């Protein structure tokens, strides 16, 4: 056989790993369902101005607390605003908070975890002790403490939720870096003259992506729940913005006369969080080598 023929046999197409992952993932119908639901939510969030039948901020007091009807499919809230329109626009806020908060946690967590795992010694000790101290707090309580300090609003809520989750990602990255940094290919990368940053970025981090992707997906669902909790307590998104938790908080006073005000935003939160959890579970099963055996 020619050299070219042998290389063809040996060389694995780059996209076969993705195909293998996709084949493994799509066998999990429940995870696929989660992915489809998330796709729909993304379409709703992007197309909110076209899907929402009414202006989500416009009050109409004579129409306040009306039950679901042909005019308002999910009814109106305590200020006469259309609940369906507010839920549709709320999808944008929930997805924004979930994605941005996890992005903060990931970026800082990867940096700290990589530094701690790669350099070890005093760097590792200091970073991990700080992470342990943060993990000593119940996450929601720490987010509330940050909100008390930073002040109310969606941006501060994203920062607070993001900071609180940093230790989880730092620990995952550190653990993975520790297990692979002594491998031959890392030694070889150092030997050919790569800087520490190049070794970490091009050779170490790609091998920790799988657990991070799974954790991040599940982290988005946790972030959405925490954002809803902060909104419910009046600490997160401020009126008149439409955030599902804030809708539950402001509609609480009317649950005896108009229970529909709190029913539909809660269903929206549950469906979104469930979809991310199903997707995260599916990604974990598809990426876990033990499941493939």
Partner 1 sequence: MLKYIMKRLLMLIPVLLGVSLIVFLIMHLFTGDPAALILGQHATQAQVAALRENLGLNDPIYLQFGKFIWQLLHGDLGRSLMSRRPVLDDLCACFPATIELAFFSLLIATVVGVTVGVISAVKRYSFFDYLSMIGALLGVSMPIFWLGLILIIVFAVNLQWLPVAGRIEIGLEPARITGLYLLDSLLTGNWEAMLSTLRHLLLPGFALAAYSMAIIARMTRSTMLEVIKQDYIRTAHAKGLTESRVINHHALKNALIPVVTVIGLQLGFLLGGAVLTETVFSWPGLGSLTVNAILASDYPVVQGSVLLVAVVFVVVNLVVDLLYAYLDPRIHYQ
Is position 125 an interface residue for partner 1 (rule: CB under 8 A)?
no
Find out whether the peptide bond into 240 is cis, omega within 30 degrees of 0. yes
Of 227-256, binders to partner 1 (CB under 8 A) are 228-229, 232-235, 245, 248, 252, 255-256
The answer to whether 77 and 60 have CB atoms below 8 angstroms apart is: no
Q: 82 has which bridge partners?
A: 76
Distance CA(264)–CA(243), nearest Å, equals 12
Report the greatest alpha carbon distance in the chain: 84
Is position 89 an interface residue for partner 1 (rule: CB under 8 A)?
no
Is position 122 an interface residue for partner 1 (rule: CB under 8 A)?
no
Is position 132 an interface residue for partner 1 (rule: CB under 8 A)?
yes
Distance CA(226)–CA(160), nearest Å, equals 10
Of 164-183, binders to partner 1 (CB under 8 A) are none
Rg (CA), the chain: 23
Tokens describing residue 170 = 């730092």
Distance CA(266)–CA(82), nearest Å, equals 16
Question: Shortest Cβ distance from residue 86 to partner 1 (Å)?
Answer: 16
DSSP string over 24-39: HHHT-HHHHHHHHHHH
Question: Shortest Cβ distance from residue 120 to partner 1 (Å)?
Answer: 20
Q: Which of 173, 273, 279, 286 binds partner 1 (CB under 8 A)?
A: 273
Q: Which of 63, 64, 277, 287 binds partner 1 (CB under 8 A)?
A: 277
Is position 38 an interface residue for partner 1 (rule: CB under 8 A)?
no
178 burial (CB, 10 Å; 0-12 / 13-18 / 19+) is: middle
Is position 138 an interface residue for partner 1 (rule: CB under 8 A)?
yes
Distance CA(280)–CA(220), nearest Å, equals 9
Q: Which of 221, 237, 242, 250 binds partner 1 (CB under 8 A)?
A: 221
Q: Which is nearer to partner 1, 67 or 138 (CB)?
A: 138
> Using CB under 8 A, which of the segments 5-13, 37-45, 66-74, 225-233 binds partner 1?
225-233
Please report, as ranges, the residues that interact with partner 1 according to CB under 8 A: 129-130, 132-134, 136-142, 144-150, 221, 225, 228-229, 232-235, 245, 248, 252, 255-256, 259, 262-263, 265-266, 269-270, 273-274, 277-278
């Amino acid at each position: 056989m020619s050299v070219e023929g042998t290389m063809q046999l040996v060389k694995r197409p780059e996209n076969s790993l993705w195909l293998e992952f996709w084949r493994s993932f799509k066998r999990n119908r429940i995870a696929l369902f989660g992915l489809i639901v998330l796709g729909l939510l993304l379409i709703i969030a992007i197309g909110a101005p076209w899907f929402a039948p009414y202006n989500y901020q416009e009050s109409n007091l004579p129409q306040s607390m009306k039950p679901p009807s042909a005019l308002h499919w999910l009814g109106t809230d305590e200020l006469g605003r259309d609940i369906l329109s507010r839920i549709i626009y709320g999808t944008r806020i929930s997805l924004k908070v979930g994605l941005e908060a996890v992005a903060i946690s990931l970026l800082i967590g990867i940096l700290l975890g990589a530094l701690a795992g790669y350099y070890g010694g005093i760097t590792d000790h200091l970073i991990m002790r700080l992470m342990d101290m943060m993990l000593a707090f119940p996450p929601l309580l720490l987010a509330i403490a940050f909100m008390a300090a930073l002040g109310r609003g969606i941006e501060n809520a994203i920062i607070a939720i993001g900071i609180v989750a940093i230790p989880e990602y730092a620990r995952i990255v550190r653990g993975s870096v520790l297990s692979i940094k002594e491998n031959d290919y890392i030694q070889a990368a150092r030997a050919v003259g790569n800087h520490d940053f190049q070794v970490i970025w091009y050779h170490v981090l790609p091998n920790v992506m799988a657990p991070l992707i799974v954790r991040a997906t599940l982290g988005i669902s946790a972030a959405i729940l925490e954002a809803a909790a902060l909104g419910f307590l009046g600490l997160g998104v401020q009126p008149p913005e439409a955030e599902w938790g804030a809708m539950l908080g402001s509609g609480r006073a009317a649950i005896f006369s108009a229970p529909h005000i709190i029913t539909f935003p809660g269903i929206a939160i549950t469906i979104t969080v469930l979809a991310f959890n199903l997707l995260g579970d599916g990604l974990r099963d598809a990426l876990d080598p033990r499941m493939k055996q």
